[in-house]
Chain A
Amino acid sequence: MENKIDWISVALYAFILIFGWFNIYAACYDDAHTAVFDLATNHGKQLMWIGVAAIVALLITHIDPHIFSSTAYLIYAGVIGLLILTLFIGTATNGGLSWIKIGSFKFQSSEFAKFATALALAKYMSALDLDYSQLRTKIIAWTIILIPAGIILLQHDAGSALVFGSFLLPLYREGMSAKILITGLIAAVLFVLALLINKFILVGVLAAIGLFYLFVWLNKRTRTHYVWVTVAFLACTAFIFSVDLVFDKVLEPHQRDRIYVLLGKTDDTSDTGYNVHQSKIAIGSGGLFGKGFLNGTITKADFVPEQETDFIFCTVGEEWGFIGSLVLIAAYISLLLRIIRLAERQYSKFSRFYGYSVASILFLHFLINIGMVLGLLPVIGIPLPFFSYGGSSLLAFTILLFIFLRQDQERTTPI
């Protein structure tokens, strides 16, 4: 039995898409070229991609939803093959090797790895006899995630690889221990603190917290308490002292610079910090109501690099002001919450898991991208879903979303 497509999601998607196009138009606008549809311009190309995305979305809503589940592994395997192929024949763009070039047409295979991985993981996790508490299950699940992430990392696209961390949320929903989330969070906080504060002071503070927990907080102390606090303390200490190693050996120089800029350890606004500095100026100067469509002085004058792609939010901030930014953020959050709501009403576990994956992937892009332009997170170049200029990402996100919306139409039928 077929239900209507979820028009709220479609409307939010369409709103973000159209608002995005207007901002791309503004970002590459110059007085000499005002034609709306001109394939020589980025906004013209984006208009074409929007058309393509609409057709693809329409196609998806008309095919049998069962096909996604039945071909999940096949799609996954195909994309992995494509990713490996990219490693060999890929074209270098902005330091990454993630583009495949066919004639004049270029696409980024990593964009398509996201929904493929989501499908494969959903398929695996929805197996009837699956027991997530078994180690074997965990290993297989994480292998499904880490294979594409690893290949993408080899393509020097750390941002896209990081997005695969979003699968933590659907796994958590399906029963993964919250401790992993919390441990991740603590690790992130310690990582930042270790870079900012003297490590011995940090260790001292941690020791104090541990002692406070043991002897003040707890009324009754068992041996297990002592053991766990000691283990946790030692683990934290080891982690803190390995931060430098990770920082120096694992991260690439530009990544280190970006983190330093974020933490305010360097004050450079002309080189590494330039993008974010300009981005903040553009957004901050928008004021409450913005400077008005096509009136942005910073974005229009090319002060912000990558302003149609990763830094597109600058245009929103500058030309549409706080009100416009608020509306866009509200639209994203509404879409995410809507997807979660839809996921929870799924009859099949496959659809639910896939729905959570969709929401989480979109969320991580949203978090990293806007966190970056607002200067809250280091510069990690990933697009703002449905909003940034770029055909591959628009198409991939559209497929990602509409596969789920298609399943939602069939939610009452078990898949």
Chain B
Amino acid sequence: MSNQYQERSAVVRIIFITVGIIFIVRLAFMQVFDSEYRRLADQQALRPITQYPARGLIYDRNGELLVYNEAVYDLMVIPRMTKGLDTNMFCRVMGITRDEFDARMNKARKYSTYSPSAFMKQVSKEEYGSWQNHLYKFHGFYVQQRTLRVYDKPIAAHVLGYVGEVDKDDIKNDKYYKQGDYIGKSGLERSYEEVLRGVKGKRIMQVDVYNRQIGSYMNGAHDTIAIEGGNLYTTIDAELQEYAEGLMANKRGCIVAIEPSTGEVLAMVSAPGYDPNLLVGRVRGENYLKLDSDVNKPMLNRALIGQYPPGSIFKVAQAMVALDLGVITPQTGFVCDKSLVGCHNHPSARSVQEAIKMSCNPYFYQVYRRVIQQGKYKNIYKDAQYGLTVWDDYMHRFGFGQKLPIDLPRGGMSSGNIPDTAFYNDKRWYGRDKWAFSTIYSNSIGQGEVTVVPIQMANLACIVANRGYYITPHLVRYYGPDSTRNEEFYTRHETGIKPAYFEIAANGMYDVVHAAGGTARRANIPDIDICGKTGTAQNIGDDHSVFISFAPKNKPKIAVAVYVENARGGGGYWAAPIASLVIEKYIRGEVTRKDVERMYREATPCQKLPLPRTIKKKRK
């Protein structure tokens, strides 16, 4: 072989090798150095599907299901993958107009062209079924299952709260959330969000060129399983709640019923209320705006956020403080001197028990004076400051002037106002050494600067029922798969006042309902020893009608506070009979006084009520 041919053979070999090297270099760049292809591949062939766990269910204290879930479907779209979509056919199948399509598509594109976003949200099972078979024709679209809350009984909306889509802050505060996720917005849904939500799972599915899922990616090696949300077992008695809500129809105000021995809230009503089903699904936004703009503020939970003058119910606490301080004795009497403070016509009270029964204003004026001006200092201003500080401490032990640590969102709660020295010393109020008992005496009868939240009123009833202590009011007994119980909710909060004094208060409250001259004879039910205290709180409009109560007198099973806003006619007239119906319903299981029940259910506070027949009969 000549040299020339050797050379030519070499040229051919070099051509082969060069091409091989070019290919290998190209492959190295594509496969090893450039990660863009991998991203593109995953993006078009893999579809991460979030597995939304079912949100935890909510039960009442008797195991009745209050809140459960219903499956709905979100139609998801990845805008970049919808190339070549037959828009006309799509609109026809989905039943939307071309304009709607463009609007939704633009919104999705704005969010991201690569990431999926919801094109149509919360499509019902029926609607989904109508186009499910066509879905394969539409590249870039797929369906994701979600759940919505369902409430069989339209009750306890304020307690349960509602669920809505996360907002920007939610996403920022907790990385768990992604756009489009749901979160508890209020009520128990919010305060037990972490229990109820469970843990989202993720499945990575492979999709083929026709957008069909063809199996899980790497046999699910990267998948995580969704963990179902934990259930809540609440303290609410659904039947009682429903009944109490019925009683508050056409009225503004609230009812709080608590089991005194445990602090378990049996019912919590805020009127006007709303059907919780209104704030679910696609109708939520519209209904929310409607409810939010309603002048009666149906979405507020008055039981927790309403700060009301307590009126005469406050006297019970004042008596206990004075007795404990020793500034009065159980037998101390005061003349009903209407020159000090106005009062209704009644004989002068000769004991604490009588004073509570008759709710004598001048009596408690005197009691409060002895608490505030104890004579420790000669300077009456200093003396008043000392007295108010002591009083203030007592009031906080009664749970006033602070947010009770109930298991609902703190944001939806008020603390009420118990004025302290700093409050009055503030120049915007009276200023230092410019106030004494004579300026603040209205507090004694639950007027003036004092405000109390209804839950605190019910709590006061619990304190008397328990003869001196309360358990934190709460709404959940236990939760989750392990039935976790929050022990904090079962600790006793002592007032530090002798039970014997509370016995006097209980006797006085018994007389309010049962004795001649009692202010709440309308609350009287045969066979049930109801103890109560009325209140008629003056304010800018018509008086508010207040009643706190517990029953039976010994080993009480239930404490109830009723507050009816602007109910012309006083505590005994409106709030007391309503409370008695709630108590009867709970203790007896049914209400025998159907006429009373009907009257209060249908009544609106504007009309003057005739005295119920059962009470008329009793008088004879």
Contacts and interface: CB of A to CB of B under 8 A. Distances in A.
Interface of A: 30-31, 169, 172-173, 178, 270, 280-288, 295, 297-298, 300-303, 317-318, 321-322, 325-326, 329-330, 332-333, 336-337, 340, 344, 356, 359-360, 363, 366-367, 370-371, 374, 376
Given A359-B16, A371-B23, 18 more contacts: A169-B12, A172-B11, A173-B9, A281-B41, A283-B30, A285-B38, A285-B41, A297-B45, A297-B217, A298-B45, A300-B208, A302-B208, A303-B209, A330-B20, A337-B17, A344-B1, A363-B19, A366-B19
B45 A303 contact: yes
19 contacts: A30-B214, A270-B83, A281-B40, A283-B27, A284-B30, A284-B38, A285-B40, A297-B45, A300-B214, A301-B45, A301-B214, A317-B27, A317-B31, A322-B32, A325-B24, A325-B27, A326-B24, A333-B17, A374-B23
Nearest to A304: B209
A329 B20 contact: yes
B125 interface: no
Contacts of A318: 41
Contacts of A284: 30-31, 34, 36-38, 40-41
Contacts of A359: 12, 16
Contacts of A285: 37-38, 40-42
B27 A301 contact: no
Which 7 pairs show the lowest CB-CB distances between chains A and B?
A284-B37, A285-B41, A301-B208, A297-B45, A333-B20, A284-B30, A322-B31
B44 interface: yes
Interface in B1-23: 1, 5, 8-9, 11-13, 15-17, 19-20, 22-23
A376 B17 contact: no
Contacts of B45: 297-298, 301, 303
B206 interface: yes
Q: Which of A295, A301, A318, A329 has the most CB of B within 10 A?
A: A301
Interface of B: 1, 5, 8-9, 11-13, 15-17, 19-20, 22-24, 26-28, 30-32, 34, 36-38, 40-42, 44-46, 83-84, 206-210, 214-215, 217-218
B125 to A, nearest CB: 28
A287 B13 CA distance: 29
B263 to A, nearest CB: 57
For chain A, what secondary structure do more than half of its interface residues adopt (helix, strand, loop), or is it mixed? Answer: helix
A336 B34 CA distance: 30
Nearest to A326: B24
A367 B19 CA distance: 7
Nearest to B20: A333
A173 B563 CA distance: 109
A326 B11 CA distance: 23
A329 B30 CA distance: 15
B28 A280 contact: no
Nearest to A333: B20
A297 B16 contact: no
Contact of A288 (B24, B31, B83, B218): B31
A281 B20 CA distance: 21
Contacts of B12: 169, 172-173, 340, 356, 359-360
Nearest to B84: A270
A178 to B, nearest CB: 8
B209 A280 contact: no
Contacts of B26: 374, 376
Contacts of A286: 31
Contacts of B37: 280-281, 283-285
Contacts of B15: 169, 363
Nearest to A370: B23
A340 B10 CA distance: 10
Nearest to B34: A284
A161 to B, nearest CB: 20
A322 B214 contact: no
B32 A288 contact: yes
B5 A173 contact: yes
Nearest to A330: B20
B472 to A, nearest CB: 55
B42 A297 contact: yes
A330 B19 CA distance: 11
B22 A321 contact: no
B20 A332 contact: yes
